[in-house]
Structure 1
Amino acid sequence: MNEFSTIRSVPAAGSSSQTDGSGAQSDEDLSAGSMPHSIEAEQQLLGAILTNNDVFDRVAAIIKAEHFYDPVHSRIYDIASSRIAKNALASPVTLKAFMEDDQGLKELGGPSYLARLAGAAISTFAVRDYAQMIYDLAMRRQLIVLGRDIASKAATVDVASEPREQIVEAEQQLYRLSEQGQTGSGFQTFLTAVTDAVNVAAAAYQRSGGLAGISTGLTDMDKKLGGLHRSDLLILAGRPSMGKTSLATNIAYNIAKKYRKLEDGTTDGGVVGFYSLEMSAEQLAARILSEAAEVPSEQIRRGDMTEGEFRRFVEAAKQLEACPLFIDDTPALPISQLAARARRLKRTHGLDVLIVDYLQLVRPATAKDSRVNEVSEITQGLKAIAKELDIPVIALSQLSRQVENREDKRPQLSDLRESGSIEQDADVVMFVFREEYYAEREKPSDDRLEEMAAWQERMSRLHGKAEVVIGKQRHGPIGTIELSFEGRFTRFGNLARPHQVDQAGF
């Protein structure tokens, strides 16, 4: 036993139980109501950090202040980590100024306890082992609390608390515990938030193209959005036949096919989850294959392909085998199940982008008195998924028919069905608009020559073009993005500019 067996005077968190040689609680102590912890491991780790600040970098990725059992140790670690992050010295002398009035430290002997921590540190080579031990014991405490909470709620028979809802809630807390090391998140210091913001900006600065988020593969869209940002809910809306699903599958394919791990530990592209509530997985795969192989989707369905087209089709299928694109085509999923399956996917395979096609086909967890309230629950649930899993969520949405009654068919925010909650909860709202679709239906009769000439000129100008109108963007500008559209392959792409065409020599 080290020196702290004698100098540790007050049990942590009011506990009077003893620890075994490793510092962990015995089964007898645990049954008495105390929690597993190791005061000695915490003391050794803090002593090593206060003796040599370089040690902090070896443990910072493993533990945080909230993982310490003793609240005084937690505060010591928090202050030390804040000073080290600012390239300032964290030692018993410098920390004394910040903790002279700390009541908990006074109970342990005052600032002299800091000096005893540093003096009793045996070595620094085992700090990672100590850190892992502290983290593991913190997980055990959280699991005990969570287990007791689950048992307590299950024992309380309440009409308003369904067992299925309790399972989803428990799974959510377990996921958060496994991913983040805690079942809930409270207040965090402004320093932590600023550090995260600086890291995001630094990543965007160093990444080619200056994107803070994941690239969609569409240059003009990336410039307008800055990529797909973590924890954002993006709504992609449009009338039927505008190409919502096509654009969503194009983005999904672009992200998944670029997925690879870089040397610095980061990734390019990402793992994509696609909830196809309208189309089957086979139909969705056929669309993606049509784009990749440049073979019209109707020919793929009929098997009407030339030898060259079939060869491209097979080659594209082989390439797509390695793409981390996961499709769930279960119809009418409740929002709670949708969230649970997304958590499971991230835990088992990873998840960087989630796409839902489409929002109005998702069911609320419980029936509501109005459709507006149901959609509100769904959009709030999708935003919660984006924040909890720390990923961008793209949800497709239908537009109301009032678009068809206007002379200008370009969509706007008020055209969203049950638009209040969708517009409020979304970080970005985009509309897919193809004027060519409406122009085709305005073809004059062949005997009206002047009108026919004007219509043909208009069709020539609109052919193969589409617009994505950004009606709302919480962190950036609104405006219109022009894209190319190849209907045969259901593919959106970057639109060549006049100067790009000139440079290409056309």
Structure 2
Amino acid sequence: MHSNKDTPPHNPTAERIVIGSLLKDSSVLFDVAEVLKPEHFFREIHSKIFRALLEICSTGRKPSLQQLVARIGEEYEDGKSTVHLLTAIIRDAERDEILSPFDFLEDLVDDWARRQIANAQKWIVKELGKKDKPPQLFLSEINERFQEIGLQSQGQPVKTLGDSAKRALANSMRAHETGEVVGMEWGLPTLNEVMGRILPGDLGFIGAAQGDGKTVVGLQLCRAAQITRPVAFFQLEMEAEDMARRELAGGTDLSVSQIEEGTYDMFSIQALQREQELLSEERVYIDDRPGLTFEQFRDRCIQLKRSQNLGLVVVDHLRLLRATKRFSNKFDRVEWITGEMKVLAKTLGIAVVALSQRTRTSQRRDGWAPRLDDFDGGSSIEQDADWVLGLARPETWLKKNKPHIPAGVDPEEHHEFSKWLKEMKDHKGKIEFHGLKRRKGDLIVRDGIFDGRAGRIYEV
């Protein structure tokens, strides 16, 4: 939105994108017109172009520059060339092929509604000065005005069940013929089994205690998903170079500290260069700005969707994402953020995955298995998530809960210690994947191998 205290809310860029999309391809004009009306545009010339398109297409003809100019006029806004403007808008639209007019309808209608509310406010102030108008009549007129604004502010066209079935069948037929299935895989067959494919519009959460592998899983997910669509990783805990060192270590036999300190031989240099070249070919974008707000996160997602056709984003992690709005407590803030994340995922048609830490209280519970309400965000995660994956490293939990052996007692004869020792051996190097919520299928638990040195998770 481009505005200041003297300018009504408006978004000329969004208006131009919508007009350009329709000039390039008018086949969706009447679908757009179910929501958008000429009066919704802030710039008069955009309103005139939209009205002219409707008039021409209503006659069954395909719009041409000559027909548009005949209805709009050869000049606009004190002598500017209409043909030059239309040509420039079409050129921009052909360059930005991935942009759809439907992505911007809600923004334009919202801005129009805000302008109407501001106008209504001015009218109310003016009418308050009329002492002869009965209050009940005044309230009735106010109600009518705001009801009309509401009626004209439906920012999304309705969908018929038949249209939705048509799209579902088209996706199914494409999968049948080409083997291309909608959505993204996790990069590990076991995780695909536990959680299923990640779909556009999903809001998912990966929850774990600190050090139990949620960042590793999130980054492995990104590297697997980028094969299908570009992805973005919002890193709020560490810098991008720290993440890169982890990935370089994972692709070589070196540790992160060796890479950081430069303590390796010539053969390792070649391995590092090969891994760096591989990473350079992948479509993984990292935003490591400290103190990131949800509004900044949302704007970056929109920008990457428009410029790169973004498919998935991962946020590490939920608790560190701030908000410019004020809230009475952190629970209300997180609830607002998760709700807005769900809206963002559906609006842009991308998958949004937030990492969340287990609360300290939940980690003091007997047993390492995570529950749905264990994570920062609690009930809001349970409410807004399409799926939730919980991670647990039993070995870590067991080390923190080693049984106390009384003085003089042989450890081998201590029942609790013997049981603990067996569990340590059984779970050494393992990570558990707990399906805590999913769209379809049973909630199951499976094991993986956690390699902390390489920052990788492997199949058992």
How would you bin the TM-score normalised by the shorter chain?
A: 0.5 to 0.7
Deviation track 1:211-269 (CA, whole Å, cap 9, x = no partner) reads 5421111102113333111101011011111111111111112222xx2xxxxxxxxx2
The code of the aligned residue for 1:378 comes to I
Q: Is residue 468–residue 480 contact of structure 1 (8 Å, CA) maintained in 2? A: yes
Q: Does 1:35 align with 2:70?
A: no
Q: Is residue 234–residue 286 contact of structure 2 (8 Å, CA) maintained in 1? A: yes
1:246, 1:285 → 2: CA distance?
A: 12
Name the residue aligned to 1:331.
Answer: 290
Deviation track 1:156-187 (CA, whole Å, cap 9, x = no partner) reads 799xxxxxxxxxxxxxxxxxxxxxxx993131
Q: 1:311 to 1:362 in 2, by over 3 A?
A: same
2:334 to 361, 366, 375: 375
1:466, 1:299 → 2: CA distance?
A: 25
Q: How does 1:209-288 map to 2 (within 5 A)?
A: 211-256=181-226, 259=227, 269-288=228-247
Counterpart secondary structure, 1:363: coil
2:382, 2:110 → 1: CA distance?
A: 38
2:46, 2:304 → 1: CA distance?
A: 34
Counterpart secondary structure, 2:440: coil
Q: 1:373 to 1:304 in 2, by over 3 A?
A: same
Counterpart secondary structure, 2:51: coil
Q: Is residue 379–residue 421 contact of structure 1 (8 Å, CA) maintained in 2? A: yes
The code of the aligned residue for 2:155 comes to G
The code of the aligned residue for 2:112 comes to D
Tell me whether 376-385 or 447-456 shows the greater mean CA deviation: 447-456
Q: Is residue 201–residue 347 contact of structure 2 (8 Å, CA) maintained in 1? A: yes
Tell me whether 379-388 or 297-306 shows the greater mean CA deviation: 297-306
Tell me whether 325-334 or 436-445 shows the greater mean CA deviation: 436-445
Shift of 1:334: 1.8
Name the residue aligned to 1:458.
Answer: 423
> For structure 1, which runs of at least 5 residues remain unmatched after alignment?
1-11, 13-26, 47-131, 159-181, 260-268, 496-506
2:320, 2:357 → 1: CA distance?
A: 10
Shift of 1:28: 10
1:447, 1:391 → 2: CA distance?
A: 58
Of structures 1 and 2, the one with the larger relative CO (CA 8 A, separation 6+) is: 2
1:391, 1:31 → 2: CA distance?
A: 30
1:148, 1:284 → 2: CA distance?
A: 39
Q: Is residue 274–residue 356 contact of structure 1 (8 Å, CA) maintained in 2? A: yes
Q: Does 1:195 align with 2:166?
A: yes
2:275, 2:450 → 1: CA distance?
A: 20
Name the residue aligned to 2:411.
Answer: 448
2:390, 2:375 → 1: CA distance?
A: 10
Q: Is residue 389–residue 433 contact of structure 2 (8 Å, CA) maintained in 1? A: yes
Q: Does 1:291 align with 2:261?
A: no
Q: Is residue 244–residue 432 contact of structure 1 (8 Å, CA) maintained in 2? A: yes
The code of the aligned residue for 2:303 comes to R
Q: How does 1:470-485 map to 2 (within 5 A)?
A: 470-485=435-450
2:164, 2:335 → 1: CA distance?
A: 29
The code of the aligned residue for 1:201 comes to S
Q: Is residue 394–residue 431 contact of structure 2 (8 Å, CA) maintained in 1? A: yes
Alignment TM-score, normalising by the size of structure 2: 0.66
Shift of 1:196: 2.1
The code of the aligned residue for 1:43 comes to T
Counterpart secondary structure, 2:292: coil
Alignment TM-score, normalising by the size of structure 1: 0.61
> For structure 2, which runs of at least 5 residues remain unmatched after alignment?
1-29, 31-42, 63-93, 122-152
Q: Is residue 436–residue 465 contact of structure 1 (8 Å, CA) maintained in 2? A: yes
1:396, 1:28 → 2: CA distance?
A: 45
Q: Is residue 413–residue 471 contact of structure 1 (8 Å, CA) maintained in 2? A: yes
Counterpart secondary structure, 2:229: coil
The code of the aligned residue for 2:221 comes to I
Name the residue aligned to 1:75.
Answer: none
Q: 1:211 to 1:363 in 2, by over 3 A?
A: same
Q: Provide the aligned C-alpha RMSD in A.
A: 3.7
Counterpart secondary structure, 1:492: strand
Q: Give the number of equivalent residue pairs.
A: 345
Q: 1:386 to 1:195 in 2, by over 3 A?
A: same
Name the residue aligned to 2:310.
Answer: 351
Shift of 1:418: 3.6
2:45, 2:352 → 1: CA distance?
A: 45
Q: Is residue 281–residue 327 contact of structure 1 (8 Å, CA) maintained in 2? A: yes
Name the residue aligned to 2:133.
Answer: none
The code of the aligned residue for 2:456 comes to R
1:458, 1:403 → 2: CA distance?
A: 21
Name the residue aligned to 1:404.
Answer: 363
Shift of 1:428: 0.6
Counterpart secondary structure, 1:488: coil
Counterpart secondary structure, 2:373: helix
Counterpart secondary structure, 1:415: coil
Q: Does 1:149 align with 2:119?
A: no
The code of the aligned residue for 1:389 comes to L
1:431, 1:448 → 2: CA distance?
A: 33
Q: 1:199 to 1:28 in 2, by over 3 A?
A: closer
Name the residue aligned to 1:488.
Answer: 453
The code of the aligned residue for 2:447 comes to E
Shift of 1:328: 0.3
Q: 1:142 to 1:234 in 2, by over 3 A?
A: closer
Counterpart secondary structure, 1:185: coil
Shift of 1:381: 1.2
Deviation track 1:357-416 (CA, whole Å, cap 9, x = no partner) reads 111111123011122111111101111111011111110011111223222121101212
Name the residue aligned to 2:9.
Answer: none
Q: Is residue 292–residue 321 contact of structure 2 (8 Å, CA) maintained in 1? A: yes
1:348, 1:318 → 2: CA distance?
A: 23
Q: Is residue 195–residue 389 contact of structure 2 (8 Å, CA) maintained in 1? A: no
Q: How does 1:7-86 map to 2 (within 5 A)?
A: 35-37=51-53, 39-45=55-61
Q: Does 1:340 align with 2:299?
A: yes
> Percentage identity across aligned positions?
26
